[in-house]
Amino acid sequence: MRPRAPRGVLPGALGLALCCLCGALGPWRSRSHLSAKANIGDHGWKKLIMVHHWPTTVCKEIENACSDPPDYWTIHGLWPDKSEECNRSWHFNLEEIKDLLPDMKIYWPDVTHPPNHSHFWKHEWEKHGTCAAQLDVLNSQKKYFGKSLDLYKELSLNSMLQKLGIKPSINYYQISDIKDALASVYGVIPKVQCLPPRQGEEVQTIGQIELCLTKDLQLRNCTEHGEPRSRRWGDAWPARATDEGPGLEVCEDGPAFYPPPKETNH
């Protein structure tokens, strides 16, 4: 089971997609809930980042640490910007999200450590979730992971890319074309991250797409006008303990490889 895009693209697909997306934005506003379980305070973050990563590129970066990755974009995390580990005493508890596990395993897998995904989820909660919990709508583990799943499904990045004709290919894409196409649908500027070309490679490889949200869960640009472009920021991929060494960077303008999943025998 995995996300699938509708077959065929009508001439008005972009307009239709935008209308559908706008209709889905309403429920993303936060509502009042009980106070957070811990006083995490205001750690100065201004936006949330819904981070999708391409499993085939994850496996390329990690190299021999995973096999048979999903052939659809999966969740890396929901990250407050500029804020990490806001409450180290608020530990991850798998029991609190047991009702979400069927969807978590499909849409938020740890592709480097199947079938044990909980280490990845623990990392995301303790590093990012304890900061996101500043918002009432995200102030428990079940709310944080559940809302992240909801946003992933409503944003429907897999389907949007398919409708835009952006599919894994042996041919290269221009990064500006991808950003412009996504902006035409979502109405905001995303951030696209790549692995720089390695020795013997011609171009960078697309690995991650970020869509940013305000604190009331409305889409917003990932970069403000005049804000310096950060080359490296964020989280390590599951098998990496740190961000040191070759890893994701904001994609350079120019061509990029969107690698097809490797064929596997079943």
| Catalytic residue positions, numbered | 76, 124, 128
Does the bond joining 11 to the residue before it have cis omega, within 30 degrees of 0?
Answer: no
| 81, two tokens | 């910007």
Q: Where are the beta strands (DSSP E) in the chain?
A: 48-53, 74-80, 172-174, 191-195, 204-213, 219-220, 249-250, 255-257
Tally of CB atoms within 10 A around 266: 3
φ and ψ of 78, to 5 deg: -115, 110
**Cα gap 97→95, rounded to integer Å:** 5
List Cα–Cα distances, 166 to 54, 159, 179, 182, in angstroms: 13, 10, 11, 10
Strand partners, 172: 257
**Cα gap 60→207, rounded to integer Å:** 10
Structural contact between residues 28 and 151, judged by C-beta atoms closer than 8 angstroms: yes
Q: Which among 182, 125, 151, 191 has a CA at the least distance from the CA of 30?
A: 151
